[in-house]
Structure 1
């Protein structure tokens, strides 16, 4: 299937590892110009060097001017940004009863503020050109809040509400806005979460992972490249009538429709 991404420019946030990297690789394979970014400029440039037409940029999106600096650093030769993939590290695990007002502010600053600013900087051009894709890498916690991840549940749900509202406002302009929700994908973050759960429960990380796998109908953790393929599809031409949607890539983990 031709996704119609050849020659388009895609900015993939937090794409030096995990789901962001998998998404960058999948979209690059479709012939898009890809901007890889992360706090480690060396790592971003190393990944970009492995892709057909990509640039690696060092940026801290949690810094006040991070989104503006990232957009300004996007190579002019690539042209305007057609695809914006929102992504970033999640907050540390914790219970809802224990979070503070400072924790709430930090979660919004990490999971909502930079994303909204990046959209504000790229959306006008997408609307003017009559084509754009905004995709947020979220969490299955949006569909079913996850125990022990109170701040992630809070911040990601806030972003989802904003994006759903935005999707209806820009659909007629040829811009789609969607979320892709991973379940248990075999990334470093999931490994850290398993390690944290092991520490809390006195079990080994492998025991925690085995228990998690038993809750997944597919019987395994997902592969990053499987997630990347779904992300690339949602960013392509064939998905032009899909907007305002949260698609789960979770092996059937969340049992609701």
Structure 2
């Protein structure tokens, strides 16, 4: 299936690890020109991906929680056709453990980074009358997850923003969608498993088995399974899909139609 992405310029945030790296690799396989952004090692990872898949991949170190870093991304990259908004999860903790600073930092990382990135790259999408904006969120926008208060709260703001923009800019052939992964085998999940094992006084193996049992497929997702959904939403095959939050969760969320 030709997804018609070979002539597209794609910016992948958080593109050096986990789901973000898998997304960058999938776009590279499709022949896109890929720009990955992360706090560290973006140039090294870009070279690795480019060599592995014989593609055009470029890396830029930046902190998405900082407005000035996003300004520099725009200056370095120029226009893009596809914007993938993705970042690591914020601090974990119960409500009374979290301080104002935690909320402010997480708001900048999850919400304001989304606002600033779209603000920079949207005008040229409007001019060309084509664009894809995809935010990687979490199943927590459907079902709150334990000790992920910051993620549970702030990712819903991102979904609301994306849904609003989908209505406003559909006339320019620009789609805005979210992908909500379930438990996916990444460093972030490994961290959550370690924390849960210590808190529950169980082995990590026990916690992993319990978490895997929570979805219908009885296993964790692989990063490339999430990436496949993202690449599809960016393609011409998904040209009539906008304003959705696509769950890629193995049946974890028990939601009605």
Structure-2 separation of matches of 1:122 and 1:5: 18
User: Please, what TM-score do these two structures have when normalized by structure 2?
Assistant: 0.94
**Counterpart of 1:44?**
45
- List aligned pairs for 1:104-119, cutoff 5 A: 104-119=103-118
Q: Is the 8 A contact 1:96 1:150 kept in 2?
A: yes
Q: Does the 8 Å contact 1:10/1:84 carry over to 2? A: yes
Q: Give 1:194's aligned residue.
A: 193
Question: Residues 12 and 35 of structure 2 are in contact (CA less than 8 Å); yes or no, is this contact kept in structure 1?
Answer: yes
1:183-241 deviations in Å (ceiling 9; x for gaps):
01111111111111111111111111010111111011011111111110001111111
Q: Which deviates more from structure 2 when the two are superposed, residues 40-49 or residues 113-122? A: 40-49
Indicate how the Cα distance of structure 1 residues 193 and 99 shifts in structure 2: closer, same or farther if over 3 A, else same: same
Take 2:206 and 2:44, find their aligned partners in 1: how far apart are those partners? 32
Q: List aligned pairs for 1:128-143, cutoff 5 A.
A: 128-143=127-142
Contact 1:222 1:250 in 2 (8 A): yes
Secondary structure at 1:135's aligned position in 2?
Answer: strand
Question: Secondary structure of the equivalent of 1:11?
Answer: strand
Q: Deviations over 1:22-60 (max 9, x none)?
A: 111111111111001211234333334334111112222
SS in 1 for 2:67: coil
Distance, in Å, in 2 between the alignment partners of 1:241 and 1:104 is 36
Per the alignment, residue 123 of structure 1 pairs with 122
For residues 53 and 64 of structure 1, what CA distance do their matches in structure 2 show? 27
For the Cα contact (< 8 Å) 1:37–1:44, is it kept in 2? no
Question: Counterparts of 1:236 and 1:157 in 2: how far apart (Å)?
Answer: 25
Q: What runs of 5+ residues in structure 1 fail to find an aligned partner? A: none
Partners of 1:95 and 1:10 lie apart in 2 by 37
Higher mean Cα deviation, 32-41 or 134-143? 32-41
Instruction: Report the counterpart of residue 61 of structure 1 in structure 2.
Output: 64
The answer to whether the 8 A contact 2:47-2:58 is kept is no
What's 1:5 paired with? 5
Tell me the distance in 2 between the aligned counterparts of 1:65 and 1:214: 43
State whether residues 193 and 207 of structure 2, in contact with CA within 8 Å, keep that contact through their aligned partners in structure 1: yes
| CA drift at 1:97 | 3.6
Question: Equivalents in 1 of 2:103, 2:65: separation in Å?
Answer: 15
Q: What's the TM-score, normalizing by structure 1?
A: 0.94
Tell whether the 8 Å contact from 1:8 to 1:33 is kept in structure 2 after alignment. Answer: yes
CA distance in 2 between partners of 1:99 and 1:40 (Å):
26
Q: Is the CA contact 1:36–1:47 (under 8 Å) kept in the aligned structure 2?
A: no
